[in-house]
Amino acid sequence: MNPLRKTIVAGLATSLLLSPFLIYKERKSYQCSDCLSKKHVYQWYAGVWPEFAIPVSFQRTIEEKSRTLRDFAPVNHTHDWIFAQGSPYIWFGTSWAGCAIGRRGSMNDFAQRYEGSDNFREFIRRKQREGLDSKTVYQMLILPRTLKDNQMNDSKLLGYTKRSNELSEEYQHWNDLNAQ
């Protein structure tokens, strides 16, 4: 075998052996700060994440509409996507291989409960029938997970935080009674 063929064969063999590590799928996740919906952007790359990589596919975007968007966000709502997390998946996109963390986990407890529990959503609908205002529920859902120093004097934010905590406690009590 001539030297050029040996070089080509060695290059192809090396590429084949390294391809599970150098060809990867990247997922970038975002969350809307105003409705809690999520967006995931997937794209295949060749290279080393995150130092150097070349895209080898088009981006594919998947949006997950939140309950907050469906139930409370204004009709003219425009998403404000905030980076939450980015991760590469090696071995042909099947194995997680690290992450870059943005504002992941920014949903407050009230919002997490609303997004994740049919029973809690039913409880909130019952409270709305009893007079709880939809705009108040929406404001409680989009509260930050924790208030920053400059927000600690905002009486509206403090009021929404207090009301969301009261409703969460009431739900827990209601849930405990219904479980018996």
Looking at residue 75, its pLDDT comes to 86
**155 token code pair:** 């009486």
Could you tell me the mean pLDDT of each successive run of 10 residues in the chain, 180 residues long? Answer: 73 59 82 91 81 88 94 90 83 70 75 92 93 92 81 83 90 76
Looking at residue 49, its pLDDT comes to 63
Residue with tokens 């609303």: 114
Looking at residue 3, its pLDDT comes to 76
Looking at residue 71, its pLDDT comes to 93
Most distant pair of Cα atoms in the chain: their distance: 85
Looking at residue 13, its pLDDT comes to 63
